[in-house]
Amino acid sequence: MSYRSSEKTRRKKDSKRTAMMQAAVQVFAEKGYHAATVRDIVGAADVAIGTFYFYFPDKETLFVYLYEETADFLLQTIQQAVAGKQTLPQQVKAGVQAYINLAVYEPAVVNLLLVGGIGAVPSLAEKRLEFRRQLTRLWQRLLDAAVADDAIPAQDTRHSAEFIAGGCDEIILGLLEVPNPEPFVQNAADDLTTLVLRAVGMPD
């Protein structure tokens, strides 16, 4: 008879894998990709080093997987924030606020996307490009709809979307350098929203 793991065993395995991934996000954010070691990760996750290698062949594989998961999470967070919003100002405000909130209250997650592994993980280069493409397309769809409704002037919406994505990143990187960024969250979101709407020609 072939062996089949019980539901309890599967849950235990999943919990160890989740613990390692959560620990790795923090370790990579604190130490950087090069300085972080597998022993750092398993120590933070309180699992045996053999458990790590049961799930991941090496540190790079784990890092790339974490990047993909984090990118998907950010994209879903912004998509959910803008869903159901009827006007471009509402959509921009909701999307910008969601991104900034995530950066301030889950800084390790956003640090992984914007800073982690740059130049250190060659296999990550294409995945970074794809993440930026998806983020740009998310904003571009909103702008295309606004142009079609005559809410904003006709324009190269791809370039405008790239401006929004880049502007968010710059504001967020600045916030992450502040020891206590929470008091600045609302002003940063409001200022960035205003800047974006002016840049795309939204009437006051």
Residue 32 identity: G
Q: What domains lie within the chain, and their CATH numbers?
A: 1-56 (1.10.10.60), 63-199 (1.10.357.10)
- Structure letter (DSSP) for residue 187: H
Render pLDDT for 62-87 as a digit per residue (tens, 0 to 9).
Answer: 988 888 888 899 999 999 999 989 99
| Residues above pLDDT 90, as percent of the chain | 54
- Alpha carbons 189 and 126: distance in angstroms, whole number: 29
- Alpha carbons 29 and 23: distance in angstroms, whole number: 10
The least confident of 19-28, 38-47, 94-103, 107-116 is 107-116
Band (pLDDT 50/70/90 cuts) for residue 107 is: confident
- Alpha carbons 153 and 134: distance in angstroms, whole number: 23
The least confident of 1-15, 76-90, 93-107, 154-168 is 1-15
Are 184 and 178 in contact by the 8 Å Cβ rule? The answer is yes
Distance of CA 11 to the CA centre of its chain: 26
Left (φ > 0), alpha (ψ -120 to 50) or beta: where does 201 sit? Answer: left
Tokens standing for 43?
């120590």
Tokens standing for 166?
């880049």
Amino acid 103: pLDDT: 87
